[in-house]
Amino acid sequence: MTKVIISGGGTGGHIYPAIAIANALKEINPAIEILFVGAEGKMEMEKVPKAGYQIIGLPIAGINRSNLLANLSFPRKLIASLSEARSIIKDFKPDVAVGVGGYASGPLLLAASMMGVPYLIQEQNSYAGVTNKLLAKKAKKICVAYPRMDTFFDAEKIKMTGNPVRKDILEVKSKRDEALKHFGLQTDKKTVLVIGGSQGARTINESIDAGLTNLVGAGYQVVWQTGKLYIDRAKTTASVFKGQVYVSDFIYEMDLAYAVADVVVSRAGALSVSELCLAAKPSILVPLPTAAEDHQTMNAMSLVNNDAAILVKDIAARESLVKATIDLLQDASKQEVLSKNIHQLAKPEAAKEIASEVLKLIGKNK
- Residue-by-residue DSSP string for 76-138: HHHHHHHHHHHHHHHHH--SEEEE-SSTTHHHHHHHHHHTT--EEEEE-SSS--HHHHHHTTT
The CA-CA-CA angle for residues 127, 276, 178, to 5°, reads 155
Which pLDDT value is given to residue 290?
A: 85
Burial of 243 (0-12, 13-18, 19+ CB in 10 A): exposed
Which pLDDT value is given to residue 236?
A: 96
Adjacency order of strands within the sheet including 119-123: 54-58, 33-39, 3-7, 96-99, 119-123, 141-144, 158-160
For residues 296-335, one letter each, b for 16 or more C-beta atoms within 10 angstroms of the residue's C-beta and e for the rest, the string is bbbbbbbbeeeebbbbbebeebeeebbebbbebbeeeebb
- Asked if 101 and 8 touch (Cβ cutoff 8 Å), the reply is yes
Which pLDDT value is given to residue 264?
A: 98
Which pLDDT value is given to residue 366?
A: 42
Amino acid making up residue 119: Y
Q: Which residues pair with 159 in a beta bridge?
A: 143
Which pLDDT value is given to residue 147?
A: 85
Which pLDDT value is given to residue 76?
A: 78
Adjacency order of strands within the sheet including 221-225: 245-248, 221-225, 191-195, 263-266, 283-285, 310-311
- Asked if 84 and 59 touch (Cβ cutoff 8 Å), the reply is yes
Task: Report the distance separating Cα 305 and Cα 308, nearest Å.
Answer: 7
Per residue of the chain (366 residues), give pLDDT as tens: 899 999 988 777 788 899 999 999 999 999 999 999 998 888 899 999 999 999 999 988 765 556 555 556 667 778 888 999 999 999 999 999 999 987 789 999 999 999 999 999 999 888 887 888 889 999 999 999 988 899 999 999 999 999 998 878 888 989 999 999 999 999 999 999 999 866 669 999 999 999 999 999 999 999 999 999 999 999 999 999 999 999 999 998 999 999 999 999 999 988 899 999 999 999 999 999 988 778 899 999 999 999 999 999 999 999 999 999 999 999 999 999 999 999 999 999 999 999 999 999 987 544
Which pLDDT value is given to residue 98?
A: 97
Which candidate, 355, 279, 344, 346, places its Cα nearest to that of 20?
Answer: 355
Amino acid making up residue 262: D
Which candidate, 93, 120, 106, 96, places its Cα nearest to that of 39?
Answer: 106
- Asked if 144 and 123 touch (Cβ cutoff 8 Å), the reply is yes
CA 115 to chain centre: 30
245 three-class SS = strand
- Asked if 134 and 142 touch (Cβ cutoff 8 Å), the reply is no
Dihedrals φ, ψ of 141, to 5°? -150, 145
Q: In 298-341, which ranges are E strands?
A: 310-311
